[in-house]
Amino acid sequence: MPLAREAVELLVQAARAWYFEGNQHGLRDREWMALRFLGRANRFSRTPSALAGFIGATRATASQIVKTLEGKSFLVRKPSHEDKRSVVLHVTAQGEKCLSQHDPINHVLNAVTALGPDECVRLRDSLREILNHLDAAHQRLDASICRDCMFLAERGPGTGKGRATAEFMCRLYRAPVSLDETELLCTSFERTRDRPKIEEHLDRARVANQG
Ligand code: SF4
């Protein structure tokens, strides 16, 4: 127990990198959280309502944050391809640059990267395990990576005319998902613990892409 407490206290200290008073490089911590999320979210989750859910804010607060980020030219709204009545939020090149140069979590990211790949995998798996326990208590995760979602299916051969780049299908949205998109965050994610077939396919595809 003392060891567990010490580990949690260290986690809380690490969290000070992304929860802070005032602003850093012109953005408050929630504005950074929103920009960071939108930079990593898939097309289904880059909506004002998904953003509000992810940052734990009301629609009105999320809308104010979007306006602030638009005012700094970090975000633009575009009509959704799937539903013309909806808008999708896009991080601009300027927003991407701001994230890569000034995001307050970059220091933590660099420190974790310095641990090396094996330690990174252990840390990721331990944190995921912890979140799974919290997930059971709170019923849902805010968002997670598409490749681990129970709605992701492999596309059958010969389907999807004109969408040759899509290798997967989202069974929830009934829409194609490309290999790159499987690495993005989704707020509709549902965990599945036993999907060795797709994991193997993704691992093979990743290795082929690197080669
Ligand atoms: S498969 Fe799951 S995570 Fe991926 S887009 Fe569909 S709902 Fe989201």
The pTM for the full model equals 0.81
In sequence order, what DSSP letters do the residues of 199-211 get, joined into one string? HHHHHHHHHHHH-
CA pair distance 16, 45, nearest whole angstrom:
26
Of all atoms in ligand 1, which is nearest to the CA of residue 152? 1
pLDDT at site 200? 53
107 vs 155, higher pLDDT: 107
Burial (Cβ within 10 Å: 0-12, 13-18, ≥19) of residue 93 = exposed
The answer to whether the CB of 185 falls within 8 A of the CB of 37 is yes
Q: Is the pLDDT of residue 162 over 50?
A: no
**Residue 50 C-alpha to ligand 1 middle, in angstroms?**
13
**Per-residue pLDDT tens over the stretch 31-50:** 999 999 999 999 999 999 99
3-state DSSP call for residue 135?
helix
Q: Is the pLDDT of residue 86 over 50?
A: yes
**Residue 172 C-alpha to ligand 1 middle, in angstroms?**
7
**Per-residue pLDDT tens over the stretch 128-149:** 888 878 766 665 557 889 998 9
Cβ(168) – ligand 1 distance below 6 Å:
no
Residue nearest atom 4 of ligand 1, based on CA coordinates: 146
Cβ(186) – ligand 1 distance below 6 Å:
yes
Calculate mean pLDDT across residues 189-193.
77
pLDDT at site 211? 42
Calculate mean pLDDT across residues 111-115.
96
Q: Is the pLDDT of residue 184 over 60?
A: yes
Angstrom distances, CA of residue 83 to CA of 53, 61, 147, 161: 20, 24, 24, 20
Query: What mean pLDDT, rounded, does the chain reach?
Result: 85
Q: What is the CA radius of gyration of the chain?
A: 18
Calculate mean pLDDT across residues 113-123.
95
> What tokens were used for 201?
């396919």
**Residue 150 C-alpha to ligand 1 middle, in angstroms?**
8
CB atoms inside a 10 Å sphere around CB 35 = 24
**Residue 188 C-alpha to ligand 1 middle, in angstroms?**
6
CA pair distance 155, 96, nearest whole angstrom:
31
Calculate mean pLDDT across residues 123-128.
91
Cβ(91) – ligand 1 distance below 6 Å:
no
**Residue 195 C-alpha to ligand 1 middle, in angstroms?**
14
How open is the CA angle 123-124-130, to the nearest 5 degrees? Answer: 90
**Domains, the chain, ordered by start:** 28-104 (1.10.10.10), 140-210 (no CATH)
User: At 150, is the pLDDT very low, low, confident or very high (cuts 50, 70, 90)?
Assistant: very high
In sequence order, what DSSP letters do the residues of 29-87 get, joined into one string? HHHHHHHHHHHHB-TTT-SHHHHHHHHT--HHHHHHHHHHHHHTTSEEEEE-SS-TTSE
Cβ(189) – ligand 1 distance below 6 Å:
yes
**Residue 39 C-alpha to ligand 1 middle, in angstroms?**
17
Of all atoms in ligand 1, which is nearest to the CA of residue 145? 3
CB atoms inside a 10 Å sphere around CB 73 = 12
Cβ(146) – ligand 1 distance below 6 Å:
yes
Cβ(151) – ligand 1 distance below 6 Å:
yes
Helix axes 29-40, 93-102, angle to 10 degrees: 120
